[in-house]
Amino acid sequence: MMCIQKLWIFVFSFFVLFLGNEVAFANGAFHKRPYSVKFIDEMSAHHEGGIKMAEMAIAKAYHSKLKHMAQMMKKDQQEELMKLQEWRRRWYSSSPEYTYNGAEMDMSKLERLSGLEFDIAFLDSMIMHHPGAIFLGNEAAVRSERSAIRNLGKRIAKAQETELNEMRALRDRWAID
């Protein structure tokens, strides 16, 4: 029992020691990385999930307004994703990739739904999904060592906040219908 407590103290101390530093474990070793690598990898994964959901809404949405919104989300996020991937290759190609599991979404429920039920479930999912990008964008706006990433973070946070408010309004209106 004492061994387990010591192990937990060691693990906790290790993470506290590295708090604020971006550390990756790859090839059996820890590597310190710039914050921007973490942002690029997390936002890329987040956008990939959002694009998949938008594609589903483009194909299945009952309301044309939601189809149009999904088309715009897909377009914007694809453009941002291409920019992030370009920066990753240009600036951080030798840095280990950060694995971000937060972008994983269960889309099986959405696949089974249709009509208004699909629209409301899609909005519910995206309403839960968008705050992640808002958080990441705001964090990048403050923490990134690169002005291009700080600026993109601000734009992403603002755009996703606007979309989030619009989705909440649509969800409230359509849930009553």
Which residue, among 130, 128, 155, 129, has the nearest Cα to 144 in the 3D structure?
A: 155
pTM of the predicted protein model: 0.79
- pLDDT given at position 176: 76
More confident residue, 94 or 168: 168
| Integer Cα distance of 55 and 92 in angstroms | 29
| Integer Cα distance of 47 and 37 in angstroms | 15
**Average pLDDT of span 117-122:** 96
pLDDT one-digit tens code per residue, 164-174: 999 999 999 99
Q: Are 110 and 121 in contact, with CB atoms under 8 Å apart?
A: yes
